[in-house]
Amino acid sequence: MEIDRRRVRRLIEKSRTQERALNRVIRRQAWLDPVADAVQKAVGAFYGALGAPGRSIKNVMHGTAVLGHPLHPALTDVPIGAWTVGVIADWLFVATGRVPALAGDLALAVGVAGAILAAVTGYTDFHETEGHERRTAIVHGLTMSLVLLLDGVSLGLRLGAPGTRFTAIALSSGAWVFAVGGAYVGGHLTFGLGSAVNHNAFPFEGPSDFVRVGMRSDFPEGEMRRVEANGLPVAILRRNGLLHAIGAVCAHAGGPLEEGKLEGEVVQCPWHGSRFRFGDGRVVDGPATFDQPLLEVRERGGVVEVKLAHPLR
């Protein structure tokens, strides 16, 4: 009996340390890397070919501009919802004839239109992924692209000869199953791997009252310095004699902002190029969509102190 208990405990401990099956499978697929490389280069070349407007358009597609929130997840509900309605309407038409065939066609068309925009925003976000996150993202992207292709063919069949309707319905129904799988991978990408989430949302509390972070001489003109304030990494810049402070961890993917390139009061993250303004913490250019935590700074008797301008939670 004691041996059985020990064996059960070992099995439980082993199961707790095992990586999720989805992650294990994706890590083994080395062939995904050249595919991801090609897609990222194509996305970069597309926006690069647009010249100066390309950066502005890319910011809109990320959600940096206009929305101030990742745009892709806000759009994906449209095709998933429309396709679900379409599949239900299609099979009610087949089974009962009480639902008009046009209902399924219209729902499918709405889903395809929404999926095209979701695909553009999704591949835009994909451009700044790397490592295991990138492999997972390309699985999600390719799966949903296949769904879009199948539903596009289904829509074309519906507009063609009447005898192809059942084939079109079967095709869009199969595509819906793939869409559910692709959505699962997309959800894991965001909630399991933290892709595109605000990296300043959880780990740090930060000071609600002024705390000491150094002396006046520690912060020379025109240079960034990283300090810790109640566990919150802070980047401090002295510009024109005045000190400015924002969170040092890039909201997009956690990059160290103090190692980035400084242009006036704007710092560019060294990892993926997001740009933030020291004066108010605002994101200037994506892929980041969330602002940096802003801190108030004061100097008293040569001592530099900071506190959060707004609570993080």
- Mean of the per-residue pLDDT values for the chain? 89
Length of the chain: 313
Least confident segment among 9-23, 34-48, 258-272: 9-23
Please, which pLDDT band fits residue 15 given cuts at 50, 70 and 90? Answer: very low
Region class of 302: left (phi > 0), else alpha (psi between -120 and 50), else beta: left
Please, which pLDDT band fits residue 66 given cuts at 50, 70 and 90? Answer: confident
pLDDT higher than threshold 50 for residue 2: no
The average pLDDT across 264-293 equals 91
Contact 204, 231 (CB under 8 A): yes
Determine the Cα–Cα distance for residues 249 and 227; give it in Å rounded to an integer: 11
pLDDT in tens, 225-256: 999 998 889 999 999 989 999 999 998 988 99
pLDDT in tens, 117-163: 999 999 999 999 999 999 999 999 999 999 999 999 999 999 887 78
Contact 188, 235 (CB under 8 A): no
Helix (H, G, I), strand (E, B) or coil at 277: strand
DSSP tag of 198: -
What does residue 144 show for φ and ψ, rounded to 5 degrees? -70, -30
Q: What pLDDT is recorded for position 1?
A: 45
What does residue 303 show for φ and ψ, rounded to 5 degrees? -95, 135
Among the listed residues 306, 292, 294, 308, the one whose alpha carbon sits nearest the alpha carbon of residue 218: 306
User: pTM score, two decimals?
Assistant: 0.83
Contact 32, 26 (CB under 8 A): yes
Q: Which residue has the higher pLDDT, 297 or 68?
A: 297
Structure tokens at 252: 């997009």
Please, which pLDDT band fits residue 110 given cuts at 50, 70 and 90? Answer: very high
Element (H, E) at 248: none
In the chain, the DSSP E strands lie at 211-215, 224-229, 232-239, 242-247, 261-263, 266-268, 275-277, 283-285, 294-300, 303-308
Task: Print the SS3 string covering 137-159.
Answer: HHHHHHHHHHHHHHHHHHHHHHC
Determine the Cα–Cα distance for residues 126 and 101; give it in Å rounded to an integer: 37
